[in-house]
Amino acid sequence: VTWPRSVLPMAVRAGIVVTGTEVLTGRVSDRNGPWLAEQLRQLGVDVGQIVVVGDRPDDMRSALAHLAHSHDLVITSGGLGPTADDLTAEVVGQFQGRPLVLDQQLEKRIGAIVDRLVARFGGTLDPAATAAGTRKQAMVPAGASVLEPTGTAPGLVVPAADGRTGPPVIVLPGPPRELQQMWPVAVAQPVVHAILVAAPELRQRTLRMWGVPESELAAMLRRAGDAFDGLEITTCLRDGELEIVSRYRVQAEPAQQRLADGIRQSFGDRLFSDGPTIDELVVAALVANGWTLAAAEAGLGGRTTARLTSYQAPGPVLGGLVVARRDPADDATAPALARNVMALFGADAGLGISGPGQDGEPVQIAVITPGGEHARSVSVSGPAQFVRERVSALAMHQLRETLTAAH
């Protein structure tokens, strides 16, 4: 839910076209739209829409027309490859009234990149096909700025041709790493920079609560009347956590402070974070106590162990064990898992989780620290995957609560 419906004042707005039939059909989930949205937010730019289209020129054209209408800047991702179905440069060129012309210097530079790749990875390529692909990638809309390739495909900044109106279009490659490397160069182009300097700072702050129904928060926000004017507040329920994200201009900082204070007053320590994730807080609490941790899970697929051990070593989490056994519910197993895994890794604290992980059946979670032993039984209803995610969230919160109480 988002309050209020109004948009942020003085907004510079960008629209994003993500191209790729693999993204449209869900075989690949879009990483470029969300990444670009956060980069733009950091530059003060509000993203109005992200449109996903397949590799079809007509759909790309209509997405461009749709976004150009109500945005100050349009960004595309994908469709810059050497093959005939990679059409973005051509479609964007047409759209901006700039037909493609061969950039001979660029053709040589791409040729050199391709030669280096072939030399490095070996193999034989048909020289005629390679040359055709290279030439295709060196065809750029007349008058566009070229962004040097970070893979083999160059990006582009394509302003509307003289006599036309409409926002410039930034054209970026599809592979996320290539797109991310090219982004700083794209925003430094004078045509883009001129738009971005008009964007005032757009701040974002995330509060996280645990064990609070969304309706209680909604009631509190309603009672507050106009105290939070100037904030765009989005609440989102995830894995039992309630995430409250506000976006606002600098002048609304006092309203954001009122929101944080109001939530703390109404919900006390159910507000567990002003920024960091629960996983980060667990690691921070271990570090604050000067303790190491080991984890063991039986019957739940290892979600929690993976979360705890995903931090860069050396960290306070020494290791974990995942057992595919399905234990029946009993009070002794989870504490025994915790104690044994502590001994195995020589850790100061242990987490043990045990249960069949089935719809509604009890799961034991035990946390052992130098301060004592805290075990409890939880039960979560739903499909197995849902049960595993929710048990993992419950275990992480039980860990954090135990570790911060001991501190």
Residues in contact with ligand ATP by the rule CB under 6 A: 18, 20, 22-23, 28, 30-32, 77-81, 86, 152-153, 173-176
Residue 12 pairs in a beta bridge with 45
CB of 178 to ligand ATP, least distance (A): 7
Q: Which of Mg ion, ligand ATP, none sits in contact with 166, Cβ below 5 to 8 A by type? A: none
Comparing every residue's Cβ against ligand ATP, the nearest one is 81
C-alpha distances out from residue 218 to 213, 215, 246, 257, 263, Å: 9, 5, 14, 18, 11
Rounded CA separation 98/74 (Å): 16
What residue has token string 């210097």? 105
Segment interacting with Mg ion (CB under 5 A) among 37-45, 170-178, 310-318, 398-406: 170-178
- Chain-centroid distance of CA 293 in Å reads 28
Task: Indicate whether 155 belongs to the interface with Mg ion (CB under 5 A).
Answer: no
Which residues, at least 6 apart from 3, have a Cβ–Cβ distance to it below 8 Å? 221, 228, 232, 233
CB of 394 to ligand ATP, least distance (A): 32
Contact in structure between 34 and 91 (CB atoms under 8 Å): no
Q: Which of Mg ion, ligand ATP, none sits in contact with 66, Cβ below 5 to 8 A by type? A: none
Nearer CB in complex with ligand ATP: 23/338: 23
CB of 147 to ligand ATP, least distance (A): 13
Task: Indicate whether 20 belongs to the interface with Mg ion (CB under 5 A).
Answer: yes
Rounded CA separation 252/231 (Å): 7
Segment interacting with Mg ion (CB under 5 A) among 173-181, 263-271, 304-312, 379-387: 173-181
CB of 51 to Mg ion, least distance (A): 15
CB of 55 to Mg ion, least distance (A): 6
Q: Which of Mg ion, ligand ATP, none sits in contact with 362, Cβ below 5 to 8 A by type? A: none
The total number of residues written for the chain in this structure: 407
Q: Which of ligand ATP, Mg ion, none sits in contact with 264, Cβ below 5 to 8 A by type? A: none
Give first-to-last CA distance, the chain, whole Å: 36
Nearer CB in complex with Mg ion: 79/357: 79
Q: Helices 32-42 and 176-187, interaxial angle, to 10°?
A: 30
Q: Judged by CB under 5 A, which of 15, 33, 78, 133 binds Mg ion? A: 78
Segment interacting with Mg ion (CB under 5 A) among 75-83, 137-145, 261-269, 317-325: 75-83
Q: Which of Mg ion, ligand ATP, none sits in contact with 72, Cβ below 5 to 8 A by type? A: none
CB of 289 to ligand ATP, least distance (A): 39
Nearer CB in complex with ligand ATP: 23/391: 23
CB of 32 to ligand ATP, least distance (A): 4
Segment interacting with Mg ion (CB under 5 A) among 20-28, 159-167, 193-201, 362-370: 20-28
Site for Mg ion in 108-147 (CB under 5 A): none
In the numeric block, which tokens belong to residue 243?
Answer: 């995430």
Site string for Mg ion, 194-233 (x = CB under 5 A): ----------------------------------------
Segment interacting with Mg ion (CB under 5 A) among 5-13, 17-25, 161-169, 387-395: 17-25
- Chain positions contacting Mg ion, by CB under 5 A: 20, 78-79, 174
